[in-house]
Amino acid sequence: MDFTVRVQDCTLQGSLLNSLTLTLPVETLTARELIRRYVLQVVEQQQAVPNAPRYRFFTPEADEAKLNGYDELPRRVIDAERQCQLAISAFERNGFLLLVDEQQVDELDEPFRLSSISNVQFLRLLPLVGG
């Protein structure tokens, strides 16, 4: 039985950054695997529409974007594995919260169960001004 979950990527202020439906072949998985599957699907969708604006799980600062050519990203191939590594690293640094059915998932490799109507939220934590 496949499990279809609704995934939302939002800010703590409630702004929706991305939303998609993710079909998973397993009922039990870890945050690491959920993050990986989500990022891979986002990258796959972006690769399918080459000139569409790019959604990045993590947006570089303006100086970094200019230095590394991120303004040209729509013409570049996205490295899916690198994006997965960045997302997992951000989870480990508390760059975002992961909520599954309104319960926070704290451990990257601790298994949790999904239901056929599970909702997943990635809540991005933004740095405080001056902090």
Compute the Cα dihedral for 14, 16, 20, 24 and give only its sign.
negative
* pLDDT tens by residue, 39-50: 999 888 877 876
Q: Is residue 113 classed as helix, strand or coil in its secondary structure? A: strand
Rg (C-alpha) for the chain, rounded Å, is: 15
Q: Does residue 117 form part of some domain?
A: yes
Distance from C-alpha of 122 to C-alpha of 110, rounded to nearest angstrom: 17
In a domain, residue 104? The reply is yes
What are the start-end ranges of the E strands in the chain?
3-11, 16-24, 28-29, 96-100, 103-105, 112-113, 119-124
pLDDT digits (tens, 9 = 90+) for 70-87: 555 444 667 889 889 989
pTM: 0.79
In this prediction, residue 14 carries a pLDDT of 83
Domain range for residue 11?
Answer: 3-124
Closest by CA to 57, choosing from 114, 18, 101, is 18
Q: Is residue 82 part of a domain?
A: yes
Tell how far CA 103 is from the center of its chain. Answer: 17
pLDDT of 53 above 70: no
Q: Is residue 129, in this structure, part of any structural domain at all?
A: no
Q: Does residue 20 lie within any of the structural domains?
A: yes
Count how many domains the chain has.
Answer: 1
Who has greater pLDDT, 91 or 26? 91
- Of residues 63 and 101, more confidence is placed in 101
Query: Do 42 and 55 touch, CB atoms closer than 8 A?
Result: yes
Percent of the chain with pLDDT over 90: 37
**57 has a pLDDT exceeding 70:** no
Instruction: Please report whether residue 131 resides in a domain.
Output: no
Residue 55 lies inside a defined structural domain of this protein: yes
Angle at 20 between CA 44 and CA 22, to 5 degrees: 75
Q: Where are the beta strands (DSSP E) in 12-125?
A: 16-24, 28-29, 96-100, 103-105, 112-113, 119-124
**pLDDT band, residue 58 (cuts 50/70/90):** low
Q: What pLDDT was estimated at residue 31?
A: 96
In a domain, 25, yes or no: yes
pLDDT at position 131: 41
